[in-house]
Amino acid sequence: MLTAAKFLVLAALLLALAWWIGGLPGDVTAHVGGYAITTNTPAALLLLFLIAVIFTVMLRVLGGISGTPGKIAAWRAAKRQAAGERAMRRGLVALAAGDAAAATAEARQVHKLLGDTPMAQMLRAEAAQLAGDTATAKSAFTALAQDKEMRFLGHRGLLRAALGRADLETAKRHAQDAEEAYPGGAWTRAQRLHLALKAQDYAAALGLTQDKNEIAALAVAAGQQAIAPRDALRYAQTALKAVPEFAPALALAAESLRRQDKTRTARKMLLNGWKEKPHPLIAAAWFAPDATPIERAQDAAALAAANPGHAESELVLAQTALAAGLVAEARRHAGLALHAGVDDGRAQAVLDTLDSKPPAPPRSAWVCGACHNSTQSWAALCPACGKPGGLRWHTPGTALV
């Protein structure tokens, strides 16, 4: 109803305008050369309107004709773009499938259709790397690294190539560039951690992990590399903050405190650690390096008193008594250690030695939680798989601690 009303109003206005124009008085005369054309005013206005319409139509026709080459060029460009994008998709599928030949062919097609666009360079680089064409891959990744939005991918590819040829210095440089291009990326952080571990730069590796076990292990390793005792103690405290009562960290802290002539503080720390969680590394760090066997046997009693009756306390008393030649004490404490639950061969080794029998090797060891390799000595990295912080002390009949 409203639309019909609008139409009626518009028709009435147009009719009124036409009626007004038709009623205009006067004549209009146009002179063309020697000719004179005279007509009334309404006819002259109608003629001017028709001339304007014809002129507008001619201009639009001429504009369409002049724009035809551009439209044809745009159509062809759109067609090339679509073909290039189809080739790009086929190339990405070939890369995912590991088909180096197909990926290389599609990369050439994309380059032909789209030119040296960043995506074309990426496909070309990845295809060349898959095909083993290191020169082409390096050239393409280098070009990609110059692009503002894609430079992370360029440095990522160059980093992978450097790792492949074991060029750690170049890989480290590209890792830093990749971090600048995309700060905080998990992949870059993992690669930087890998490079730091390869270079045994444990202080740098420490800042690249958030796993508490890795932090503890790497902090101890960094402390062992530190020259100044203060630095070593600081790293040991970092490890203990991540994993409280961590035996290697306690041993490192005690050593660094002794180097600073803070023996009482070191012994207090070791006593607290032994009270909470006795461990052979704490026992090894407890004794003074220049102590005699008798002094060690006497000092073992002070350590064992922090956790009396514990299997490790009885075992350290038995071992030090054996070294000091206290046969009866060694036999008694070895028996108590066996009774307390030490069944990994260490207590039996004391008894076998007293009975002049060859002792069997101990069955307790550091076991890697990743590859399950065992070793007698603690290390920040698993000797077999290289995982940081993976070693846990294990004795038969007990869980990994």
pTM (2 decimals)? 0.73
pLDDT at site 171:
92
Report whether 281 contacts 250 (CB < 8 A): yes
For the cut 50, the answer to whether the pLDDT of residue 399 exceeds it is no
Q: What is the CA radius of gyration of the chain?
A: 43
pLDDT at site 31:
65
pLDDT at site 393:
92
Look over the chain and give the mean of its residue pLDDT values, rounded to a whole number: 88
In this prediction, residues 347-375 reach a mean pLDDT of 91
pLDDT at site 400:
35
Strands 35-40 and 391-394: unpaired
For the cut 80, the answer to whether the pLDDT of residue 286 exceeds it is yes
Encoded tokens for 276: 């909470």
Encode pLDDT of 206-227 as tens digits. 999 999 999 999 999 999 999 9
pLDDT at site 101:
92
Within-domain flag for 107: yes
Measured CA to CA, the distance from residue 318 to residue 173 in angstroms comes to: 54
Within-domain flag for 8: no
In this prediction, residues 328-345 reach a mean pLDDT of 90
Sheet containing strand 365-368, strands side by side: 374-375, 365-368, 391-394
Report whether 90 contacts 108 (CB < 8 A): no
pLDDT at site 28:
65
pLDDT band at 40 (very low <50, low <70, confident <90, very high): confident
C-alpha closest to that of 234 among 244, 220, 247, 246: 220
Please name the helix (run of DSSP H) or strand (run of DSSP E) that holds residue 365, with its range, or none.
Answer: strand 365-368
pLDDT at site 11:
72
For the cut 80, the answer to whether the pLDDT of residue 104 exceeds it is yes
For the cut 90, the answer to whether the pLDDT of residue 51 exceeds it is no
DSSP-derived secondary structure letter, 288: -
Give the chain's end-to-end CA distance (angstroms, integer): 86
Q: Which of 51-65, 132-146, 230-244, 327-341 has the lowest mean pLDDT?
A: 51-65
Encode pLDDT of 185-194 as tens digits. 999 999 999 9
In this prediction, residues 280-286 reach a mean pLDDT of 95
Q: Which of 39-48, 105-114, 126-135, 279-288 has the lowest mean pLDDT?
A: 39-48
pLDDT band at 298 (very low <50, low <70, confident <90, very high): very high
CATH number of the structural domain spanning residue 185: 1.25.40.10
In angstroms, the Cα distances linking 299 to 26, 275, 320, 368 are: 134, 15, 9, 33
Within-domain flag for 88: no
pLDDT band at 401 (very low <50, low <70, confident <90, very high): very low
Measured CA to CA, the distance from residue 39 to residue 29 in angstroms comes to: 6
In this prediction, residues 43-58 reach a mean pLDDT of 76
The Cα diameter of the chain in Å comes to: 149
Within-domain flag for 21: no
36 DSSP β-pair partners: 31
Rounded to the nearest 10°, the torsion over CA 103, 108, 114, 119 is 40
In angstroms, the Cα distances linking 153 to 119, 142, 180, 248 are: 10, 10, 12, 40
For the cut 80, the answer to whether the pLDDT of residue 330 exceeds it is yes
Within-domain flag for 180: yes
Higher pLDDT, 277 or 29: 277
Angle separating helix axes 186-198 and 151-164, nearest 10 degrees: 30
Tally DSSP H helices, then E strands, for the chain: 18, 5
Within-domain flag for 104: yes
Report whether 375 contacts 365 (CB < 8 A): yes
Within-domain flag for 156: yes
For the cut 80, the answer to whether the pLDDT of residue 72 exceeds it is no
Q: How many domains does the chain have?
A: 1
C-alpha closest to that of 229 among 265, 202, 261: 261
Within-domain flag for 187: yes
Q: Which of 42-46, 253-257, 338-342 has the lowest mean pLDDT?
A: 42-46
pLDDT band at 33 (very low <50, low <70, confident <90, very high): low
pLDDT at site 68:
67
pLDDT band at 398 (very low <50, low <70, confident <90, very high): very low
Range of the domain at 134: 100-199
Measured CA to CA, the distance from residue 38 to residue 335 in angstroms comes to: 139
In angstroms, the Cα distances linking 89 to 109, 125, 327, 338 are: 11, 15, 80, 69
pLDDT band at 64 (very low <50, low <70, confident <90, very high): low
pLDDT at site 22:
62
